[in-house]
Structure 1
Amino acid sequence: MTFSDESYNLRIELDTKGCELSADQIEDMELDLHTLRNLVADFPVSDLHITVVHHQKARDYHVKTSLGLSGKMLFTGERHHKVHPAFESCIRKLTKKVRAYKRQMRVGEEAEKLAAGTRHDVAPLGEINVEAIVQAVGDDDYQQFRHEMDVFESSLASRISHWIERYPEIGSRLEHPFQVSDIVEEVFLNAFDCFAERSHDIPPGQWLESLIDPSVQALLQSPDEEYERIQFAKMAMTD
């Protein structure tokens, strides 16, 4: 039995040996590929080959996957007495490998940008008044804190813009039409909340940059609550 699907960016070929899969089984396998499809959406090439072998003597199924990406081939394999659990385990492991590969790619890209002098670091455009920032946090005064952190706003906005360009799938998952300025505000709000927990060994700009990803995750998990918080903070700044 051979099955192929090229209707999505992730092109799939399914081969079976010693068994036949029902339409319902194939549909269940398709549903398990949702996360993997999103992960490989930004690769120009993504070919998934799935092989399902039924061993009569062992009375189990051996599922093997190979995923061809741009410049990389990833493999997984799993055995189980039922097809679906073996396939699920393969795809979970494959998803982890894709995430690890994308992290390696990002590290390489950042190293190249750093060497070429084109990396957009978060850096202040003026002097940082650390004492005033600490005082604002101690007084629970976000407006003053935000005023003191204005020196980072332009650089932070630029970094967030480049971050979003690298992960276009994030924008499509946000329920509200969040602007870069909204994510900037979310980062500052989170910086204010966890200021006391920051590491003193990390430069302020690098610390702010580390808050971009968790800030976006917060927007994904609680969009209504975070959107309201951002808009409230923005209105307070204009008073």
Structure 2
Amino acid sequence: MTTTIKHEHFKTRHRHLDVSVDVQHCHIPDDERTRLQEDLARLGDELLEFPESHLRLSIVYHPNQEEYHAQAWLKLPEKRFVAGRYSPWLDYSLMRCFAKLRRHVESYKEEASLPANGSSTARPAINGAFVPSTEHVLDALDKAVQWQDYRLFRRGLAGYEDWLRAHVASWVGRYPQMTRQLGETIDIDDIVEEVFLMAFEQFPQRPKEPTLSDWLSKLIDPALKTVWHNPDERENVDFARTFGTGSELLDAAHAAARRSKPK
């Protein structure tokens, strides 16, 4: 019979990263502890350029919902980030939580490296983001859709991601209730990914006018409402972002479904 640990707290340090971990209502298996230490070490390496950083990680199992909730708060000099993920599977919850944190860190480092008076040929959008000035990616996107290759489609839209993320963040502000849930049950990246998934599905029917960026903008509100009202879609979005679509996504979903839940 497995004994459930009601509460566990431990601290560790990786490079310049101080880590505090709280575990409630679950036991972390040895293999998962090893993966957790690897994730922390990887994050510590990515934060090496900062003189100090602090991470608080909370892992809670909710027996009524049969879900884990991994949530992390990262403090850097002059910047704070939060990332979280609910999932029936502990390893998946932690994996997505750390993936979101790394995306936040990567974006922050990229922004910090931009020249103060740098120039760009793109036209400015909102919140300092830029809209790509050309639509040269259409042929590549069309081929990706014909081949049913979401990863290729996603790479073709990489130049729109920062602009779209800023646009989504601004749009979420229209829904105060959703804004309060950011970093908890939903994430800006989830909505961005849902926009790309909708674009992938609807691309053959895309109107020739307006521009690609204007068309993506019109997908934000339906994508936002889909993620907000359909928790299952959040998992689909995460699987798509992590594994792709088609047979890769199906295999990943089947593998996840075979994992056991705590007794």
TM-score between both structures, scaled by the size of structure 1: 0.45
- The higher radius of gyration belongs to 1
